[in-house]
Amino acid sequence: MNHSPEAWDHMQFKDIAVKVANVELYYKAVHFYLEEHPDLINDVLNVLALRVDHTRVVDIMRKAGQLPLVKPYMVAVQSNNVSAVNEALNEIYVEEEDYDRLRESIDLHDNFDQIGLAQKVGSIALVFSHV
């Protein structure tokens, strides 16, 4: 990762990443892909999905303002019913006005801030009722 332009190969990186014992390197990889190869970040996250803390990955992406970038990864791991993943996806669905997906997410995954989501969706409905 330190000499990425000369020595980096995505397939080789994925093969080696799953063999690494140092968990912190997984998160360095997330930052590396976010900065250097955002188009491949979902691919590497799917490889690391069994090894990373999904809440920490969501926090990294939220701080970077890039939650929508990892939507495919979050959809893939949502079956774990992790609050941070559920809330991030629900937030994206609200922003995209994809209420069918939001309903599906809520029905299948109950670990999220229900009051916060209700307030957010309620305030959006209130805005539209005044238009």
Model pLDDT, residue 6: 63
Model pLDDT, residue 105: 94
Give the torsion sign (CA, 57, 58, 64, 67). positive
Model pLDDT, residue 128: 42
CB 89, CB 71: distance < 8 Å:
yes
Phi, psi of 52 (to 5 degrees): -100, 160
Model pLDDT, residue 92: 97
pTM of the model: 0.85
* Run means of pLDDT, 10 residues per run, the chain, 131 residues: 68 88 94 96 97 98 98 98 98 92 93 84 51 36
